[in-house]
Amino acid sequence: PGRSRMQVDLLAGTTHRPAVLARPVPTILVFDSGLGGLTVLARVGEVCRGADIVYAADDAGFPYGRLEEGALVARVLAVMERLVAHPHPELVVIACNTASTLVLPALRARFAIPFVGTVPAIKPAAAATRSGLISVLATPGTVARDYTRGLVSTYAGGCNVTLVGATGLAALAEAALKGERVEDDAIAAEIAPCFVERGGRRTDVVTLSCTHYPLLLEPMRRVAPWPVEWIDPAPAIARRVGQLLGADAAADRAGGHEAVAVFTSGAGITGPLRIALAGRGLAEVLIEPMPLVS
């Protein structure tokens, strides 16, 4: 009682399918290891007003950067098997750079649905820079990937690119969203290597190559030693999702779309976090236990 159609379907492991004459309602799964994907969810919701959305956070596995590559691939595939089984999404957004730079080929080989990944926005950064100095602010795992270095070689060969593997910035973003106090000095220390001066030129573009980082955009602007353009890939991801799903996803629906959050642990869900989730359209939070097996 009191649960929506999609919430009941998620708990029961079934999916409502509309009557033959009804307009189809696509379901989009937005997946991340934690809360960073909320920045992508917001943009997808703006573009796909006619779609139902499930936000899935594999908080039992967070942070993914601590997993070695084979374990990370196995973990994401295992969790995705459960999530794709119900509610049978028409499309999945991997709103995690660490996972996208490694796991997308395996996901596309395993499942017969579209996957939209999140990769460092190096091409638009190279197009936007005037100084020729750009920085890629990412997790250590994303910085270490050959995929990331390949993007630099392909799209930013004429630029000086600084790869910055921030060790604690994602955790700071999670803490802030949970209502915990995050000091400006801690944020400043994480982003300081992004700001480079060379030959009278300065870094003028920083790509936010972890979906957690836009959650801290305002304090990062405040503590930055000089103004830069911060590139958030979420708008481009949302446009791509809209292109793939077409008119059915974009059309306004009476009562709006349904949105549900699913966590694989839920251990870190606090009162302030529930309020923050509700403010992002995720008033209903479900736990689908999927412990991380070491």
Task: Using CA atoms of 184, 275, 29, 47 in order, give the dihedral in degrees to the nearest 10.
Answer: -80
**Residue among 48, 159, 194, 210 flagged as catalytic:** 210
Outline where 192-228 has alpha helix (H). Answer: 217-223
Check if the beta carbon of residue 210 is closer than 8 Å to that of residue 142: yes
Length of the chain as a residue count? 294
Check if the beta carbon of residue 213 is closer than 8 Å to that of residue 173: yes
**Residue among 48, 96, 159, 194 flagged as catalytic:** 96
DSSP 84-146: HHTT--SEEEE--HHHHHHHHHHHHHH-SS-EE-----HHHHHHH-SSSEEEEEE-HHHHH-H
Q: In this structure, is the dihedral angle defined by the CA atoms of residues 238, 239, 241 and 247, taken in order, positive or negative?
A: positive
| Spatial CA neighbour of 115 closest among 224, 252, 237 | 237
User: Among this protein's residues, is 159 annotated catalytic?
Assistant: no
User: Among this protein's residues, is 210 annotated catalytic?
Assistant: yes
CA–chain centroid gap for 180, Å, is 21
Catalytic sites, residue numbers: 96, 210
